[in-house]
Structure 1
Amino acid sequence: MPTRTDLTRTTRRVLTVGTLAALLTGGLFLGDASAGTVLASACTGNVTGDIGDDIAVQGKDVADLVRAGAKEQEMFLHLNAVDPDKLAQEITAKGVLPVGKVPTAASGTVSGDTIAAVVTQALKGADGLGWSWDTATQQKTLTSIRNKVAGNCGLSVATANYSIATGLPSAATGTPAPGTTAPTATAATPSMGTGNATAPRRDYGNIPAAVPGIALSPGDKYPSAAPVAGLPTPEIGVLSGSNTPPGQADVRNTGNANALAAAPTTNTVQLPMLLAVVALAGVSAALVRTWVLRRVS
C-alpha cells in the first residue's frame, strides 16, 4: 500500500510533466504566431506572405549573376586575384539572404537594387574579389557584381492577410495604421476669411465716359475698342446708314410711305341720292313758308 511520501512524489512528477508539456505547447503556438520567412524561388518573380513576414532569396539563386559580374573584372589566369567561381561558391554558402519584409499594404516590391546591396554586403572581404591589398580592384569587382544583380533581379510582393480595415485609422486616436497614410479630408467645410484678402481692381478703360461741362469728341466717347472693334464709331444725331454730309443734321422722315386707294363699297352714298335729298328739302321749306303766311293773313 503506497505511503504518503510515495503519493507526494507521484504528485510532484505529474505536476512537473504537466508544466513541461504546457511550456512546450505554448512555445509551439508562439512559434506559429510569430512572423515567418517567405523564401523566394528565384531572385525574380512573385512572392506571397503575411504582413511583417521576412522576404529572403537563396544565395544559390544569385550565384550565376555573381559569377558573371566578377568575370567582367577578371584578368587572365586570375592575375588580379579575381576568381568568379570562388565568389559564386561564397554566395551559395551564405544560404538564405533576407532582402525585405511583407508590407502593410495589398502589394509591394523588392527592387533589384535592394537585393544587390544585400549580395554585395555578404561578399565584402570574401576571397576572389582581388588581392587583399588591392582595395580598388575589390571595389570594382563588387560594383560589377552589384550592377549585374540589380539589373536582373526584382520581386513583386502580395500580402495574403491584407484587408481594407488594416489601413483605416484608429477610432480612438485617429492615427493611421503603420505603413499607411492618413486619408485626406474631403468634407466641404466653409473657410473663415481673415478680412485682409483683396481682389484686383477692375479695368473700366473701355467704358464710354462723359464729364459734366466738357464736350467730348465722338472718339473719346466711343473709343476704338468699344463697343465692337472694327466697326465705325457712332455719331450723335446722325441716323445710321444716311448719306448726309458730316455736320448737317438729317431730319428726313424715316422711309417712303404712300397712301393706298381704298376699295369701292356698295354702301357709299352716290350723287343722285344727294340731289334728291336736297330737292325734297327745298320743297318742304316752300310748303312750310306758304302755310305760315296764310295763317298770319
Structure 2
Amino acid sequence: MRKTGLMKTTRRALTVTAMTAAVVGGSLLTTGTASASTVLSQACSGTVVGALSDQVAVQGKDVAGIVKAGAQEQEWFLHLNGVDPAKIADTITKKGAVTVGEIPAGTASGAIDGNAIATAVTTALKDAGDPYQVGLGIGGDQQQKTLDAIQRKVAGNCGLATFANNYQQPGLPSTQPGPTTTVPGTTAPSTTPGISGTGSATAPPRNYGNIPAAVPGVAGVAVPPSALYPSTATLPDQALPQVGVLGGSSGTTGGQADVRTAGNASAIGGEPAGGNVQLPMLLAVVALAGVSAALVRTWVLRKLS
C-alpha cells in the first residue's frame, strides 16, 4: 500500500512538472516569435521599408547571379581547381532568405551597404557544408580566393536603403487630438484660413461690397458723394470728395454745386488738315511738269531729225 501511494504521488509530481515546463516553454517560444520580425527585400539593391529594429533579409536566388559571376573569376578550365560557379550559385539559392542587417533604431532612415550584404552571403556559403562539395575549390587557399572574389562582386553590386515607417521625431507633439482649454480672459485663436494670431492685430475684410455703396454705371443719374462713400467714412476735415466740381470758389444753390463757367468754351486754332495741298507742293508739281514736257519735246525732235 505504501509503495502504491508513493508511486501515485511521484506520478502526480512528474505530471505537474511536465505541464509547467510545457507552459513556460510555449510562452517563451511565443514571445520570441512575436518580437522577431523580418523584412524580405525584393533584391539586393533598392529600398526596404519596415519597423524600427526589424531584420532585413535577401533571398539567395536574388544574389545567385552575382555570386556566380564572382566565382567565375577563379574558375579554371573544366573546374580543374575545384571551383564550380554553377554549384555555388545553386547552394546560395537553396539557402533561402539570408539576413543581411536591420532597420536601425532611433532614426527615420539608414543603409545596409554592399560589404555587409557580401559578408552575410559569404558566411552563408561557408556554413553550407564541405567547401569542396559547395564548389569553392580545392584547398583552403583556393577556397579563400573564391570567397574573396564573391565578396568583391556582391559588395560592388548590392546596397539597400532602409526607411522606418513607425519613426516619430523626438520632441514633436502627439498627432492625437486632445482636450482644448481656454484661459479665462483670453480669446481662442482664430481658425479662419489665411488669418492667424490673436490680440489687437487686424486683418483685411473678406468682402468689399460696401465700397462704393451706390451701383455705378446708371445712365442719366448723378450719384451724390454721400452715396459713393458710406456714412462712416472719415476723411481729413470731415469733408467728402466732390464729384464734377471745378477747382476754385463757386457758389452753391440749394445745396448743389453751381458751375458758372459751363458752356463758355471756345474753339482754338488747330493744325491744317492733312489732306490740303499747300502752295509749295503745287509749285513743285508745276515745275516737274514743265521739265517733263521739255524732255519729251527734245526726244521727239531728235527722232525726227
Task: Provide TM-score, normalisation by structure 1.
Answer: 0.45
Computing the radius of gyration from Cα coordinates, the structure with the larger value is 1
